[in-house]
């Protein structure tokens, strides 16, 4: 008998297949004592296992490229964290085996993160994965991970570690479902990059029996267990209709009555550019530059290295617009040479522009490299600062851009509610705004973007978040400047229409989402988008907002 479960749809498409569960986690190693004379050997075993796991994660990142590479390199750095390794050595010195010392040291660090208010709770899943890989290597047992199967399947897991998500084979993994996670978790972002249908934050996902047939709708968040033949046919027809609409939709982004909405791509480095170009991106709305700085946590990349990487991306969009975000270090992207190691609350501490203003040499080198990378290219370069809180921040960034001789537009990201509330003031110092809806939701609702338990507050359909978007767009319109969205909200086709109705002037997203958004925008006029936006803002919950907008656009 068919039953319906509902989670959060985070990656478009439909998948129908049998359930296969993620490999079980590593068992807790026994707590046995070793003689003192064996401590040196055990410490050596621990270091070898840690180095091997870090090398494996880095290799997986190199294979995956793009955003996945940055995530996996961060995990590799986590594996080799000096403080963690010192704790492992101390535990072995007092009699623990290598595997037990690793297990206990990671558990202690996990508790520290939880005690800090779970602002880094999203990193806990990454930490657990690193621990499991090291312990598995020490025990000589298979790594936990994606099941071995010759037939396509729907992958079900409590959560998916980046190392597993990054190398999923779309020809075998039809889609995936997780019990935890949220719309802006690493797994969700990577799923969209892969174009794999996915539903996260689904209660009871782990109870789905191995081999059970399910139908996963990554757009609605619905998972149909034992779907009827009628349901399969209905979903297949909807998927076919969607594919036909995508194939027919080409060219610049625009509403049905010709109101232009440039559709841009989010890229994490040169590896993401081919997919963006193939999907018809009109430029880049968010070029994340962290990938360069994660290569070496001890020092910033040279100016020459930065110039070469930036030029690769800029050259791919002649006459196009490329918006570069300067380094956003801190919080979940710590760098030893930049970010404090002892911050009690990193997400609310020194991160983004605050970090760069504390290290003006790093900012100056990056801005100079961008200026040189753009020389001789017919590209429209724009540079923006992350985590701008007020006009003083915006002025400090604009002054740094001018001092570096940067011939580009300077902008500010709106990720903090204060920036949305005082957007017009900020726009007196910079030339454009770009809304990072992932962090804006996190700070608006005091809801960590990686914690599944608060995923409803991370839903970009929350009316309070839409109010902040509207405030920013209205301020930009009043100042005669632009206001784009580069957060994950832009990848939702229906929400893209609402954002357009709120006055947003461009939308940037993962390449896989571009055809969906382009096709949906083309169905509706600007007036319809504006009515849908008003209906969504008048609602009292994310679910009501989506339903209200859907009703307006479907003519109900």
Residues annotated as catalytic (active site), given as ranges: 186, 486
- How much of the chain is helix, strand and coil, in % rounded to 5? 50, 15, 35
Neighbour count for residue 396 (Cβ, 10 Å): 18
Residue 450 is given by DSSP the state T
Residue 217: φ, ψ to 5°: -105, 100
Distance CA 224, CA 231 (A): 8
Contact partners, residue 56, CB within 8 Å, separation at least 6: 133
Nearest CA among 400, 454, 366 for reference residue 182: 454
Distance CA 282, CA 537 (A): 29
Contact partners, residue 541, CB within 8 Å, separation at least 6: 462, 463
- Asked if 286 and 413 count as a contact pair (C-beta separation under 8 A), the reply is no
- Asked if 46 and 139 count as a contact pair (C-beta separation under 8 A), the reply is no
- Asked if 174 and 151 count as a contact pair (C-beta separation under 8 A), the reply is no
Residue 384: φ, ψ to 5°: -130, 155
Per-residue tokens: 367: 């801005």
Per-residue tokens: 90: 């101390």
Contact partners, residue 183, CB within 8 Å, separation at least 6: 8, 10, 200, 455, 458, 459, 460, 488
Per-residue tokens: 54: 């870090």
Residue 62 is given by DSSP the state H
Distance CA 489, CA 504 (A): 12
Distance CA 185, CA 182 (A): 5
CA within 13 Å, CB half, 3: 6
CA within 13 Å, CB half, 420: 25
Residue-level length of the chain: 556
CA 90, 91, 93, 99 torsion-angle sign: negative
3-state DSSP of 85-144: HHHHHHHHHCCECHHHHHHHHHHHHHHHHHHCCCCCHHHHHHHHHHHHHHHHHHHCCCCC
- Asked if 448 and 118 count as a contact pair (C-beta separation under 8 A), the reply is yes
């Amino acid at each position: 008998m068919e039953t319906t479960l509902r989670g959060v749809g985070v990656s478009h498409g439909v998948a129908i297949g049998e359930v296969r569960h993620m490999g079980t986690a590593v068992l807790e190693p026994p707590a046995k004592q070793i003689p003192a004379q064996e401590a040196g050997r055990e410490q050596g075993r621990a270091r070898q296992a840690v180095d091997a796991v870090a090398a494996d994660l880095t290799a997986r990142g190199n294979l995956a490229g793009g955003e996945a590479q940055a995530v996996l390199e961060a995990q590799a750095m986590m594996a080799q964290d000096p403080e963690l390794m010192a704790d492992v050595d101390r535990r072995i010195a007092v009699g623990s085996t290598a595997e037990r010392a690793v297990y206990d040291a990671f558990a202690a660090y996990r508790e520290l993160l939880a005690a800090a208010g779970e602002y880094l709770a999203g990193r806990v899943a990454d930490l657990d994965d690193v621990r499991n890989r090291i312990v598995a290597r020490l025990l000589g047992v298979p790594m936990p991970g994606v099941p071995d199967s010759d037939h396509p399947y729907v992958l079900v897991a409590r959560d998916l570690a980046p190392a597993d998500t990054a190398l999923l084979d779309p020809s075998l993994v039809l889609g995936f479902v997780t019990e935890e996670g949220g719309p802006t978790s690493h797994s969700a972002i990577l799923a969209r990059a892969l174009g794999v249908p996915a539903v996260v934050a689904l209660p009871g996902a782990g109870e789905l029996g191995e081999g059970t047939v399910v139908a996963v709708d990554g757009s609605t968040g619905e998972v149909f267990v034992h779907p009827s033949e009628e349901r399969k046919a209905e979903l297949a027809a909807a998927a076919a209709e969607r594919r036909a609409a995508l194939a027919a939709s080409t060219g610049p982004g625009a509403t049905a009555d010709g109101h232009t909405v440039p559709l841009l791509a989010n890229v994490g480095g040169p590896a993401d550019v081919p997919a963006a170009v193939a999907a018809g991106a009109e430029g880049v709305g968010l070029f994340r530059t962290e990938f360069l700085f994660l290569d070496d946590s001890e020092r910033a990349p040279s100016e020459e290295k930065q110039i070469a990487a930036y030029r690769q991306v800029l050259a791919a969009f002649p006459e196009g617009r490329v918006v570069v975000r300067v380094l956003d270090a801190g919080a979940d992207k710590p760098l030893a040479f930049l970010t404090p190691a002892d911050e009690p609350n990193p997400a609310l501490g020194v991160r983004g522009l605050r970090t760069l203003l504390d290290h003006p040499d790093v900012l100056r080198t990056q801005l100079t490299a961008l200026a040189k990378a753009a020389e001789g290219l017919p590209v429209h370069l724009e540079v923006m600062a992350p985590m701008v809180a007020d006009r003083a921040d915006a002025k400090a960034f604009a002054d740094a851009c001018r001092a570096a001789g940067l011939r580009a537009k300077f902008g500010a990201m709106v990720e903090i509610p204060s920036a949305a509330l005082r957007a017009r003031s900020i726009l007196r110092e910079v030339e454009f705004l770009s809304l990072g809806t992932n962090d804006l939701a996190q700070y608006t609702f005091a809801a960590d973007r990686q914690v599944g338990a608060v995923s409803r507050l991370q839903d970009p359909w929350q009316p309070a978040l839409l109010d902040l978007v509207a405030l920013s767009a209205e301020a930009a319109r009043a100042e005669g400047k632009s206001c784009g969205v580069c957060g994950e909200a832009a990848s939702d086709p229906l929400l893209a229409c609402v954002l357009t109705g709120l006055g947003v002037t461009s939308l940037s997203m993962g390449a896989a989402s571009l055809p969906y958004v382009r096709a949906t925008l083309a169905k509706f006029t600007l007036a319809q988008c504006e009515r849908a936006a008003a209906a969504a803002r008048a609602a009292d919950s994310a679910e009501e907002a989506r339903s209200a907008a859907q009703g307006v656009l479907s003519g109900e």
